[in-house]
Structure 1
Amino acid sequence: MANTRIFQMTFSSIYPMYVQKVERKGQSKENVDKVICWLTGYDEAGLEEQISSETTLTEFFDQASQMNPNVSLITGVICGVRVENIEDPLMQKIRYMDKLVDEVAKGKAMEKILRH
């Protein structure tokens, strides 16, 4: 039941928090956009449309063209939980996005974040 609340949050309410987080650490909004597009398959126009709409996180990921095939290479801990061990597919996608934004904020090299 607790997950229902996060699933119904709008992407447009979470996105500015991602941007603020990375900018406080001296990183750029462009890198946030880059990792979200890499993860979800959205292009810049599609991402901008999601930011300007009232799309829930459920809808945001449902409408994503295709999750990156290298998404399984995202590992580590976010909010005290290993992302690779999260069983709920939607929650795992949300935490993947959180993890990527955290890595941007920490100044990790983009080629490492994007797991080429």
Structure 2
Amino acid sequence: MTNNQDERIAKMTFASVYPHYLAKVQKKGRTAEELHQVIEWLTAFDKKRLAQLIEEKATFEVFFQQATIHPNADLIKGVICGYRVEEIANPLTQQVRYLDRLVDELAKGRKMDKILRVK
């Protein structure tokens, strides 16, 4: 990834992407509650805090600065947007791609305990 891509991702607002996440999972028969559960697992943001961040139009940079990333997030592996998430060097870009990967897994019908890396 180039620095331009990293900067573009950092400046993107979570509020602009969230409706796409929601539409993607709902189109595949999953619920908003399941999406929120996945987001909360990764970031520790409850539904109320998530709504505040959307309302504030927080950038991904601010969003992930305020997040408490789950200790098992490094167990998220796979390819998203042509890149292996475990090999992305920029920490913010990697965290955004972690979220993208979890949303993809949810949309593909993966079981919640697998998505949330329950051992």
- Quickly name the TM-score band, shorter chain normalised: over 0.9
1:4-83 aligned at under 5 Å gives the runs: 4-64=7-67, 66-83=68-85
Distance in 2 of aligned mates of 1:63 and 1:78:
23
TM value normalised by structure 1: 0.95
The answer to whether 1:102 aligns with 2:116 is: no
Matched residues, percent identical?
50
Q: Please, which runs of 5 or more residues in structure 1 have no aligned partner?
A: none
Q: State the distance in 2 between where 1:30 and 1:12 align.
A: 17
1-structure distance, mates of 2:47, 2:26: 19
Aligned residues: 115
Q: Normalising by structure 2, what TM-score?
A: 0.93
Runs of 4 or more off by more than 4 Å in structure 1?
Answer: none
Which consecutive residues of structure 2, in runs of 5 or more, have no partner in the other structure? none
